[in-house]
Structure 1
Amino acid sequence: MVLTDQKVKLMDGVFSPSEASDILNIFIDKKINFHKLQRLSITEQNCNDDTPQLYNRINELIKAKESIREAIMEARREGLALQIESDIQITLIKK
């Protein structure tokens, strides 16, 4: 049952390659570390739980980081800026 919806604009702007690199790498690194800590917490509680969904998500984020790095390198080579837009959709639900 949905209680409320909220949409938050996280980023909306044009950034130099260096700015984009800083912003996106910090964000992705934090997300990767969040999932690594989750995985560690789960495996400490149950050493037989291999948390495949967390491994998969971490690998997806690592691949996304590489893809972003390549786009930033191309922007640097071409003397271009990067437009970054990001929204977060928050929905409160009953469990």
Structure 2
Amino acid sequence: MVTAGALLGRLLPRWERHRPADGLSFDASTARATLAAVAGGMITLVGFVVTAIALVVQTVTGVSNPQAVRRLRALLDRLAARPDRQGLGGAAAGETLDD
């Protein structure tokens, strides 16, 4: 399987050079639009995550369980303090209240 992948990696670019350039063409404006769409999607996702965390905090504080509030606050403090997991990255990577 690895040999087939290596062989295709060497032969396909040579084969594509000899084909006519029909179909889609990509230029700088296409790349710019694609990156803008990806960045917009990431910003939207971060907004949803922050909203979900705010709802969890409201729910936990509404229950009046001091232990749960302390555990959630400790988790958020640990996430903010880790340089390798900026912001909410730890929560997205599967960090739980028991970690």
TM-score, normalisation: structure 1:
0.38
TM-score, normalisation: structure 2:
0.37
The structure whose Rg is larger is 2
Structure with the bigger percentage of strand: 1
